[in-house]
């Protein structure tokens, strides 16, 4: 029987998620460029955000499937799998809030219900749109903030789809970790 080493698991986990962190960083750099240096009156700019969000979602979906399957083989506890899964969900929610913030910076009419105060700045809007992202990911949809434009609705739909895939994938893998732990005990 092999012994469990938590430091080894954490080191392996951070090595495995580094590609996802690089994707998030690359998209963040693209968003900073879009928010600062591109003319926001161009009609194609919001759709660049939609395309980046779509490809990022495809990457996260396949990355999640691969990484969680690897983690199941390496994990010896439900808590480890839950921590990996929770970290990926936080990363996805934050990346969508960055999508929404960039879209709002490009088109101030993209969302209804945001505080229109100019002194909030990007950080204040990032906070409000992180709340919107959490509510959208959880499929609660209070309605206090709502997407108005087509690009905002497309990104919200992409996040809802990502949430559905993550929940289904997570529930199916909870069973796998229990099966793996039972076979290891035999």
Residues 106-132 pLDDT 10s? 888 999 988 766 667 778 888 999 999
* pLDDT at position 178 over 60: no
pLDDT of 17: 73
How much is the pLDDT for 54?
Answer: 94
**pLDDT (0 to 100) of residue 176:** 64
Q: What is the mean pLDDT of residues 166-174?
A: 75
User: What does the DSSP assignment read for 155-171?
Assistant: HHHHHHHHHHHHHHHHH
Give me the pLDDT at residue 145, please.
92
The DSSP symbol for 76 reads -
Confidence of residue 133 (pLDDT cuts 50, 70, 90): very high
- Asked if residues 129 and 31 have their Cβ atoms less than 8 Å apart, the reply is no
Looking at the chain, list the stretches that DSSP marks H as alpha helix, in order from N- to C-terminal side. Answer: 6-37, 45-74, 78-106, 121-137, 150-185
Q: At what angle do helices 45-74 and 150-185 cross, to 10 degrees?
A: 0
pLDDT: which is higher, 57 or 41: 57
Q: What band does 4 get if pLDDT is binned at 50, 70 and 90?
A: low
Residue 78 has pLDDT above 50, yes or no: yes
Find the mean pLDDT for residues 50-78.
Answer: 77
Can you tell me the distance from the alpha carbon of 2 to that of 13, in angstroms, rounded to the nearest whole number? 19
Asked if 157 and 137 count as a contact pair (C-beta separation under 8 A), the reply is no
> At 186, is the pLDDT very low, low, confident or very high (cuts 50, 70, 90)?
very low
Instruction: Residue 92: name the closest of 174, 164, 177, 10 by CA.
Output: 164
Q: Does the pLDDT value for residue 1 go beyond 50?
A: no
**66 or 158, which is more confident:** 158
Of 180, 1, 183, residue with least CA distance to 77: 180
Q: Which CATH number fits domain 6-185: 1.10.30.50, 3.60.10.10, 3.20.20.60, 1.10.287.70?
A: 1.10.287.70
Q: What is the reported pLDDT for 82? A: 76
Phi, psi of 113 (to 5 degrees): 105, 0
Residue % of the chain over a pLDDT of 70: 80
Q: Residue 63's pLDDT is what?
A: 76
In the chain, what are the domain boundaries? Answer: 6-185
């Amino acid at each position: 029987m092999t012994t469990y080493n938590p430091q080894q698991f954490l080191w392996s986990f951070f090595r495995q998620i580094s590609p996802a962190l690089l994707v998030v960083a690359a998209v963040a750099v693209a968003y900073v460029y879009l928010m600062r240096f591109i003319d926001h009156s161009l009609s194609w700019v919001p759709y660049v955000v939609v395309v980046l969000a779509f490809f990022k979602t495809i990457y996260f979906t396949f990355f999640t499937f691969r990484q969680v399957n690897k983690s199941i083989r390496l994990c010896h506890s439900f808590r480890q799998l839950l921590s990996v899964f929770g970290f990926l969900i936080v990363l996805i929610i934050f990346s969508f809030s960055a999508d929404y913030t960039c879209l709002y910076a490009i088109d101030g009419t993209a969302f209804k219900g945001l505080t229109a105060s100019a002194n909030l700045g990007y950080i204040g809007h990032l906070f409000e749109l992180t709340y919107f992202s959490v509510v959208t990911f959880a499929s609660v949809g209070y309605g206090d903030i709502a997407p108005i434009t087509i690009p905002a609705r497309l990104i919200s739909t992409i996040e809802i789809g990502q949430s559905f895939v993550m929940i289904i994938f997570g529930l199916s893998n909870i069973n796998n970790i229990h099966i793996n732990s039972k076979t290891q005990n035999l």
